[in-house]
Amino acid sequence: MALTVGITFDLKQSYPKELKSSADADCELDSMETIAAIAAALERNRNRVIKIGNAREVIKFIEKIKPDIVFNISEGILGRNREAQIPAILEAYQIPYTGSDPLTLSLCLDKSMAKKVISYSNIPTPDFKKISEAEEIQELHEMEINFPLFIKPCYEGSSKGIRLDSKIKNISELKKKTFELLATYRQPVLIEEYLPGSEYTVGILGTKKPEVLGIMEVKSTSKSEEELIYSYEIKKDWENRVQYICPPPISPQLESAIKKVAIDSFKALECRDVARVDIRLDKYGTPNFLEINPLPGLMPGYSDLYIMAKSVGMDYDVLINKILFSAIERYPHLRINDTRNLMT
């Protein structure tokens, strides 16, 4: 017997215009093409799929019909708990869902809180400071600061708020950029030690025994850019400005070290089913945790996870259904309906 799988999501086209305070305000949200691709992958594995939508639509829908499980990729719209809204609703109605729970989703979206857990877990990560008010800049003047630094909004993803000038070289630049981000994104900013090494992103699947799907190096194609600033501008023009190398030409020792940081971070933050961990090397070549995305993009053809899956011979349908199957393992009553024909 097939499962009824609901899909929850937020679309770029539905982002409220009155809330759009920046050009990249909706960059985390999905397109209908992505939702259609996920639905088709689930349907080809004999599931009945219902496209539900955002948090408000979920509440209306589940009062009438309860799906067996929800495939959640909703990013939400406002606040540092926005990614946790749909999972919290689903838990209130005792409806199973894919991905991390509300606590982990909120924790990971708040970069400063995530880094506190990572630091406590003895996982390397750049030194940092969270700034919530403009007045706190004075404290930075009085501190001994080692430049360069890197600055970004505290509660965002998809390089939102990151620009080519996010690498800060002096106190004047730091003050200017901090004021700008506080005013534009209306949330605290994260200021951290800038790491000069190569940048990698690591895909992870599973829960009890999470496994690395792949490691991908993100490298600038410009000879004039010595170090990559993976900014909003770069991502918009990624075909011309960056090279995705998967797998990267690295030593077995470095590969093992990167995988360890990624898996340890996934476990420390108690992620489930799927995540993507961003890692950068420091001046000594040590992999450092930058941030983790427990709701990584799943656009076929372009998303990082798709590229990683393709590099190991896994097609899109298998990737999507592996995420679903990982979630099903948490819910014994669903296992009798668990049809895994794509895994054979």
Model confidence pLDDT, tens digit, residues 11-64: 988 777 766 667 766 678 889 999 999 999 999 999 999 999 999 999 999 988
What CATH topology corresponds to 199-322? D-amino Acid Aminotransferase; Chain A, domain 1 (3.30.470)
Cross-strand partners of 281: 287
| Residue 4 parent element (H or E) | strand 4-8
pTM for the complete prediction? 0.91
- Which CATH superfamily groups domain 127-193? ATP-grasp fold, A domain (3.30.1490.20)
273 φ/ψ sector (left φ>0, alpha ψ -120 to 50, else beta): left
Cross-strand partners of 292: 277
Tell me which of 51-55, 186-190, 310-314, 333-337 is least confident: 333-337
User: Above pLDDT 90, what percent of the chain?
Assistant: 67
Domain spans of the chain, in order of start: 4-99, 127-193, 199-322
Nearest to 31 by CA among 307, 245, 218, 297: 297
**How far from the centroid of its chain's Cα atoms is residue 163's Cα?**
18
3-state secondary structure of 167: strand
Dihedral, CA atoms, 119, 123, 124, 128, nearest 10 degrees? -20
Could you tell me if 146 and 193 are in contact, meaning their C-beta atoms sit under 8 angstroms apart? yes
Could you tell me if 295 and 108 are in contact, meaning their C-beta atoms sit under 8 angstroms apart? no
Asked whether the predicted pLDDT for residue 177 surpasses 80, the reply is: yes
The CATH number of the structural domain formed by 4-99 is 3.40.50.20
Q: According to the model, what pLDDT value does residue 340 have?
A: 57
268 Cβ partners below 8 Å, 6+ apart?
117, 118, 120, 121, 123
* CA-based torsion, 185, 87, 208, 342: positive or negative: negative
Token representation of residue 256: 């093992």
Asked whether the predicted pLDDT for residue 344 surpasses 50, the reply is: no
Token representation of residue 295: 């709701």
pLDDT in tens, 200-212: 999 999 999 999 9
Of the two residues 133 and 104, the one the predictor is more confident about is: 104
